[in-house]
């Protein structure tokens, strides 16, 4: 499939929309609230892996702020999905194991979206699309 193929172009537009909308959603709902109220977050963040609240918050901020920004730009997209998926897996299995499917639907939808980006990559409309390993 060449780059001028209409089907290829529609896939690239779909990946662009998915990257940007999912990243903005994760940033708005989880990343920025944590970033803007660090002290309060340090007091309330769960530490299911026993790493300490500071390290746990740092890892969460990386996954919920830095990684969505990379994904939105189309840089290291597949790699940037991994920390997000790790945080989602910890949240669903260790922090909130009591959640029903309905209770955890936002986390499950984010998981579906970021696994899709992990599989599909950034598409052609990405800053890193010419990089061989993208």
pLDDT in tens, 107-126: 999 999 999 999 999 999 99
What mean pLDDT is predicted for residues 10-16? 95
> How confident is the model over 63-113, as pLDDT tens digits?
999 999 999 999 999 999 999 999 999 999 999 999 999 999 999 999 999
| 1: in domain | no
pTM of the model: 0.90
| 133: in domain | no
Choose among 28, 114, 126: nearest CA to 79.
Answer: 114
Q: How many helices (H) and strands (E) does the chain have?
A: 7, 0
Residue range of the domain that includes 107: 10-120
| 4: in domain | no
Domain total of the chain:
1
């Amino acid at each position: 499939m060449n780059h001028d193929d209409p089907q290829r172009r529609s896939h690239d537009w779909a990946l662009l929309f998915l990257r940007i909308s999912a990243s903005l959603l994760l940033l708005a709902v989880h990343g920025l609230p944590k970033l803007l109220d660090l002290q309060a977050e340090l007091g309330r963040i769960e530490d299911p892996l026993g790493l300490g609240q500071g390290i746990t918050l740092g890892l969460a901020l990386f996954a919920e702020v830095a990684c969505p920004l990379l994904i939105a730009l189309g840089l290291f997209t597949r790699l940037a999905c991994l920390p997000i998926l790790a945080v989602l897996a910890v949240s669903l299995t260790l922090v909130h194991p009591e959640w029903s499917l309905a209770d955890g639907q936002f986390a499950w939808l984010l998981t579906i979206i970021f696994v899709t980006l992990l599989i599909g990559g950034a598409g052609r409309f990405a800053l890193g699309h010419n990089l061989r390993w993208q």
